[in-house]
Amino acid sequence: MSETHEDPLATLLRLRASIDNIDAALVYMLAERFRCTKQVGELKAANDLPPSDPAREELQIARLRELAEQAELDPEFAQKWFRFVVAEVIQHHQQAAGGN
């Protein structure tokens, strides 16, 4: 019985290429997310709505933690990522509203 094993260097290069593709997709997805949140910020500013919505943020955290568990990703990591992104979004919304 003959088994073929991929060369470790070839495996490393293949995996790194996959990681690079995933990183590129993440950057483009984040850019699209920020395009949407920019529109939300403009809408909030035009209608004198607060830049943040803590109730929605908590619902989103719960949703993302559940998704992370389903995807076998650490829910704590998903929550940290979300809070990091939301902090940036809120800053953009404050700027759109004429704040700091």
pLDDT confidence of residue 25: 98
pLDDT of residue 93: 81
Q: What is the pLDDT of residue 4?
A: 63
Q: What is the rounded CA–CA span in Å between residue 79 and residue 85?
A: 10
Query: Please, what CATH class does the domain formed by 8-96 belong to?
Result: mainly alpha
Q: How far apart are CA 98 and CA 100, in angstroms?
A: 7
Averaged in consecutive runs of 10 residues, what is the pLDDT profile of the chain (100 residues)? 76 97 97 94 91 93 98 98 93 77
pTM above 0.85, yes or no: no
* Predicted local confidence at residue 80, as pLDDT: 97
Instruction: Give the model's pLDDT for residue 27.
Output: 97
